[in-house]
Chains A and B, each alone.
Chain A
Amino acid sequence: MSSSTPLASSGATLTTDVLIIGGGLVGGTLGCALAQHGIGAVVVDRDSQDHLLEDDYDGRSSAIAGACQRILQVVGIWEHMKPDVQPILDIRVTDSDSPFYLHYDHQDVGEEMGWMASNRTIRRGIFARSAELPNLTMLAPVSLVSLERTQDGVTAVLSDGSTVRAALVVAADGRRSQVRQMAGISITTLPYHQSGIVMTVWHEKDHQGIAHERFLASGPFAILPLPGGHHSSLVWTEKDSLIDSLLSLSPQEFHAELISRFGSFLGEVKVVSKVFAYPLTLQFADRYIDRRLALVGDAAHGMHPVAGQGMNYGLRDVAALVEVLVNAKRLGVDLGSTAILTDYQRWRRPDNMLMLGMTDGIVRLFSNDIKPLRLARTLGLAAVNRLPKLKVFFMKHAMGDVGKLPRLMRGESC
C-alpha cells in the first residue's frame, strides 16, 4: 500500500481543498469520494496503513446497508472489496424465550438486506482506491501538532514537520476526536454499562446468508454471516461488570458460555480469532460544525452496535458532505464557508439523532427482564411480522432507504 507516503522532507507545505483528520472507515471513504469528484484532499492518520490492516487491530466486521453499499460502489471502493463480502439474505430477530420472532426476508423487498465485510476488507478497499486517485494524499503515521482555523483558511502543522493548508478541515478521528476537543465542541454521553465482545467463529453448518439478532436479558447477541458459509462474526453484548470474569474464564468454560447463547443450530462452533471487548456508550456532539470545521462519523455520533449502523450513518454523513461540497464548488463558493457547513449540519444532525434515539430505545427496551415489557416486546414482534407494509418500512429503514437521500446513496455520482 504505497499511497501511504510520509513526507520525506520536513517543512514542506501542501495546499489542498479539504484536510481530513482520521483515515478510518469514514475518513478514508470521504477522501476517496471527494477526490473522485475533483476536490483535492489530504487524509492524515496517526497509525500506519500496515498497522490498521493487522489482524489484531480491529476484529470487527460491519453490516453494510444497501444505501451505503451504493456509496462504496460509486466511489470505486466496492470494486476492491467485492471478492470478500457476504450478502445478508435474511435477518431473524428473536426475543429471549419468546415463541415469536421477527423475520426480515430479502424476498420482501426484492434485494439483499445488506452485506457483511470485515473491517479489514473495507480498509483494504479504501487504501487500494486511494492509491488510484492523484488528487488524494494519505499521510500516515502522522499526527496533528497544531491546527489553526481563521476566517481565511485552515493551517495544520503535522508531526513530520510538514504544513497543510486547506479551505476546510474534517474531523473523522473517531469517538475520542482530538479535533472536536480542540474546537471546544462538547459531547453528551450516555453509558450503557455494557460492552461488546467481538470475535469470529467457525461453524460446521452453512449459515446460508442468515443474520441472527437475539435479544437476551443481558443485551443483544448478534450472529453475522461472513464469506464462505462457515464463518460468522459475533457481537455479544454483556454487562460491564461481567466482562472481566467472562474474559478470564478457561477456554472450555468460555466455550460453554458461548454455546449457551449461540445454540447448536449451526452444529459444532469454534472461536478462530482473538476475542475483543469494546465498551459501549451512546454519545453525540452538540454541534457538527465550527469555523471551517465539520465532524463526520463517530466523531459526531457514536451509537450502540445493536442496529449495526455506526459506520453506515458515518457513510451517510460522507454522502451528504460530498454533495454539499460538490454543489459549493460548482458555485465557486469557498468550501469552508458557514452557509455550506450549515446545510450539512441541517441535513445530517436530525437524521443521526433519530437513529441514536431508535437504537437507544431498542437497547433499553430489550436489555431487561421486566415481565410486562417482555410481553409487549413479544406482541410487538409478532405484530410487525403480520403487517407487511410496516415491516417493509422497518427493513427499508435498516437498509438506509428512508429520508432525503444524498445522490451517492442513490448510486449516482454528484
Chain B
Amino acid sequence: MANATPSTALPEELAKFEAMADSWWDPEGKFKPLHQFNPERLRFIVRQAAARFGRDETADRPFEGLRLLDVGCGGGLLCEPLARLGFSVTGLDAAEKNIRIASLHAEKMGLAIDYRCDLVEKLAERGEQFDVVLTMEVVEHVDNVDLFLAACSHIVAPGGLLFGATMNRTLKSLAMAKIGAEYILRWLPRGTHDWRKFLKPSEFVGSLRASGLVVDTLKGMSFNPIAGTWSLTDDLSVNYLLSASRN
C-alpha cells in the first residue's frame, strides 16, 4: 500500500449526475424509474434485513439501533425511507451537488441523516463499519469495480448485510434498459448508461465472494409495460438485485 490507491470515481459520470441533481425528488422527472421501483426494492431490503436481524417488520421503527451506509445515495431516495424505519443512516455520494440536494430534502422532511461527500474506499481505509451497506444502481457508474465492491464489502460489520443492484450485460438489457429507457421511452437522458459497464450477476457475485461475503439472494426486477408496474422476478436478464452477508 505504498502508493495512493486508484479512485473509484469517474469524473464524467459524476458530472452527468450533477447536471440532473435538481430533479432527484421529482417523481415524473429524470429519475422516474427509481421512484417507480423504490417500494419494490425497499420491500426486498426490509424483508431480508428483518429476517437477518430478527426484527418485526410491522413494528413502528423496526431497525432502531442498526447502522446503515448507502453508497452512491444520490438524492437519498433510499436513505429517507430507511431512516423512517429506525436505521441510523449515513448517505455517501461522490457528487457534491447530490449531497446538497439530499441534505436539504431530509431537513424538509424532518429526518436526521448523516450525508457525506466522500468515497467508499476512504471510509474503508479508516476502518468504519456498518450493519447494512447498500450500493444500488451505482456499480455501472464507477471506475475499478472490483476495488469499489471490495471497499463496500470491507465496511460490512461481521453478521451484517450488503445489498447491491445494477443492470445485467445482455443483449436484452441493451435493448430494454439502454435503448428502450433512454431513447424510446425517454425515461432517462441519453447517455445515462454505458452498456459495457453493466455487470453480469456472476461478476458481481464473484467480486463480493473474493472479499469474504456470501451471496444469499439474487432476484430480477422486471417492468411490466402493460400494467406499468415493477416486480421482483427470477428473470435476471435486465435489472437485478442481491443480498450478501458476512458471517
Contacts and interface: CB of A to CB of B under 8 A. Distances in A.
A98 interface: no
A339 B42 contact: no
Contacts of A371: none
A334 B77 CA distance: 10
A253 interface: no
Nearest to B59: A330
Contacts of B83: 332
B60 to A, nearest CB: 7
A331 B39 contact: yes
B228 A332 contact: no
Interface in A341-394: 342-343, 346
Contacts of B46: 330-332
B81 A332 contact: yes
B34 to A, nearest CB: 10
B43 interface: yes
Interface stretch (B9-17, B20-28, B196-204, B239-247): B20-28
B97 to A, nearest CB: 18
A343 B38 CA distance: 13
A339 B25 CA distance: 12
B30 interface: no
Contact of B80 (A151, A328, A332): A332
A332 B79 CA distance: 10
Task: Tell me which of A38, A330, A334 has the highest count of chain B C-beta atoms within 10 A of its own C-beta.
Answer: A330
B80 A346 contact: no
B27 A38 contact: no
B57 to A, nearest CB: 6
B35 A38 contact: no
Contact of A332 (B28, B58, B82, B227): B82
A332 B85 contact: yes
Contacts of A327: 39
A332 B70 CA distance: 15
Nearest to A329: B84
B57 A339 contact: no
A152 interface: yes
Nearest to A167: B109
Contacts of A151: 25-26
Interface in B111-154: none
Contacts of A343: 39, 229
A152 B109 contact: yes
Interface in A36-51: 38
A73 interface: no
B36 interface: yes
B198 to A, nearest CB: 24
B35 A332 contact: no
Contacts of A339: 27, 35-36, 38-39
B39 A330 contact: no
A252 to B, nearest CB: 60
Contacts of B42: 331-333
B25 A333 contact: no
Interface string B69-88: 00000000000111111000
A342 B228 contact: yes
Given A152-B108, A152-B109, A342-B228, A328 B39 contact: yes
A131 interface: no
A340 interface: yes
Interface string B148-162: 000000000000000
Interface in A312-340: 327-328, 330-334, 337-340
Nearest to A328: B39
B141 to A, nearest CB: 23
Given A332-B42, A342-B228, A337 B80 contact: no
Nearest to B32: A338
A332 B25 contact: no
B229 A346 contact: yes
Contact of A337 (B35, B228, B229): B35
B149 to A, nearest CB: 26
Interface of A: 38, 151-153, 327-328, 330-334, 337-340, 342-343, 346
Closest 7 CB pairs of A and B: A332-B81, A332-B84, A338-B27, A331-B42, A332-B85, A152-B108, A333-B81
17 contacts: A151-B25, A327-B39, A330-B46, A331-B42, A331-B43, A332-B42, A332-B81, A332-B85, A333-B81, A334-B81, A337-B27, A338-B27, A339-B27, A339-B36, A340-B39, A346-B227, A346-B228
Given A334-B80, A339-B38, 15 more contacts: A152-B109, A330-B57, A330-B58, A331-B39, A331-B42, A332-B42, A332-B81, A333-B39, A337-B27, A339-B39, A340-B39, A342-B228, A343-B229, A346-B227, A346-B228
Interface of B: 25-28, 35-36, 38-39, 42-43, 46, 57-58, 60, 80-85, 105, 108-109, 227-229
